Amino acid sequence: MNLIISAVVGGLVASAVTIGGIQAYQGGDPKPVSQDKLVEYASE
C-alpha cells in the first residue's frame, strides 16, 4: 500500500515540477507588467 501511495504522490510532485520547469524554460520570465497589451499606456 505504501508503495502505491508513494508512487501516486511522487508522480504528482514530479509532474508539477517537471511541467512547471518546462513551462518556465519555454515561456521565459513572467511577462512584465510594462508590456501590458490590454491597457493602452501613454508611453505606447
Partner 1 sequence: MIRPGPRASADLAVSVAVAVAICGPLLLGSGFWLVGDMVFVPHQPWKAAWLGLDGALPRAVPMDALVSLVSLVLPGTLVQKLLLLGGFLAGGLGIARLVGDQAWYARAAAITLFCWNPWVHERLLIGQWAILLGYLLLPWVAAGAIRLRKEPRDWSRAGLALGLSAVCSPSSGVMAAVVVLVLGARRTPGTWWRPALLAVVANLTWLVPALTVETVRVSTDGVFAGFAARAESGAGAVASVLSMGGIWKTSILPVERASTALVLLSCLLSAAALAGLWLAEPARHRWLLLGGGSVLVALVPTLPGGAAALEALGDAVPGIALLRDSHRFLAPLGLVLAVGVAHAVTLVRARIAPGTGALWSAVALLVVAPVLLLPSLAWGALGELDRSTYPDAWDEVADRIGDDEATVVLPWHGSYRSYDWNHDRAVLDPAPRYLPGTVLVDDRVFLDDIVVAAEDPRVRAVDDALAAGDPGTVAQHLRDLGVRWVLVEQGVSDVPAPRGEVAYAGDGLELLDLAVADGAAGEVAVGTKVLWPDRGVLRSILVTIAHLLAIVLISSSTVWILRASK
**Residues interacting with partner 1, by CB under 8 A?**
1-3, 5-6, 8-10, 12-13, 15-17, 19-20, 23-24, 27-43
Between CA 34 and CA 42 the distance in angstroms is 11
Between CA 31 and CA 41 the distance in angstroms is 16
How many residues are listed for the chain in this entry? 44
Residue 21 CB, nearest approach to partner 1 (Å): 10
What the block records as the C-alpha cell of 7 is 508512487
Residue 44 CB, nearest approach to partner 1 (Å): 8
Residue 10 CB, nearest approach to partner 1 (Å): 8
